[in-house]
Amino acid sequence: QAQLVQSGGEMKKSGASVKVSCKAFGYTFSAHGITWVRQAPGQGLEWMGWFSAYTGDAYYAQNFQGRLTMTRDTSTSTAYMELRSLTSDDTAVYYCARGQLLADYWGQGTVVSVSS
Amino acid sequence: QSVLTQPPSTSGTPGQRVTISCSGSTSNIGGNTVNWYQQLPGTAPKVLIYSNNQRPSGVPDRFSGSKSGTSASLAISGLQSEDEGDYYCGSWDDSLNGHYVFGTGTKVTVL
């Protein structure tokens, strides 16, 4: 049974960066991409981008171009999402999910809180 | 910014059947498959339906999905109290170099 386990919650100041990890268990990490999605308090789901765990190529939503980086460490089957220049609008729960089409496994979510 | 439109809310009594619509366009639903997600309070989204009408293992057959043209729908038959939560549709969108889009979300209330 595949599983994605995310790192713990983060509290950041405006202007800082945050790096969230997503460790994969129970499947061949390089065989599937990882997508990142976020959900602001009381809001819907927002696609941030996805990357191929095999090639490392990443595709970002236009809203995040320039301040979002998705990477992976194949030796530990871990995906990373780094968001820079944080503002209060980035306060949200961040989820990783397996695959480009978000058709199966999701992580438990990581709360990122940004304050001024 | 959601590009798939869902009704904000729907409700029903236990045992009733409710449906949720999801309206898109030719660049998303019209040309790609649709997934449905259930998000219970305080939890991560869970895939309820994938590839328009496929249920993952463990999802009750009370949940069913369909797609026609640029719209899709989710039906919940035999509504139960534990079904209360938020439901989202999602689909790949081929515009803007490709990206995934979600629906606006529908709150299901069991009366």
Q: Are A5 and A22 in contact (CB under 8 A)?
A: yes
> Structure tokens of A85?
């220049």
Contact B47, A104 (CB under 8 A): yes
B42 Rama sector, left if φ>0, alpha if ψ -120 to 50, beta otherwise: left
Main-chain phi, psi angles of B60, to 5 degrees = -60, 150
Q: How far is A75 from chain B (nearest CA, A)?
A: 27
Hey, what are A78's tokens?
């871990």
Average pLDDT, stretch A23-27? 96
Instruction: Give pLDDT, residue A62.
Output: 92
A5 touches chain B (CB under 8 A): no
pLDDT value for B1: 60
Q: What is the pLDDT of residue A53?
A: 83
Which pLDDT does position A102 carry in this prediction? 87
The answer, for A10 touching chain B at a CB cutoff of 8 Å, is no
Q: Is A2 on the interface with B (CB under 8 A)?
A: no
Sheet bearing A34-39, strands edge to edge: A10-13, A110-115, A92-98, A34-39, A46-51, A58-60
- What digits encode the pLDDT tens for the residues B70-108? 999 999 999 999 999 999 999 999 998 899 999 999 999
CA dist B7 and A114 (Å) reads 31
Partners of A1 on chain B (C-beta within 8 Å) are none
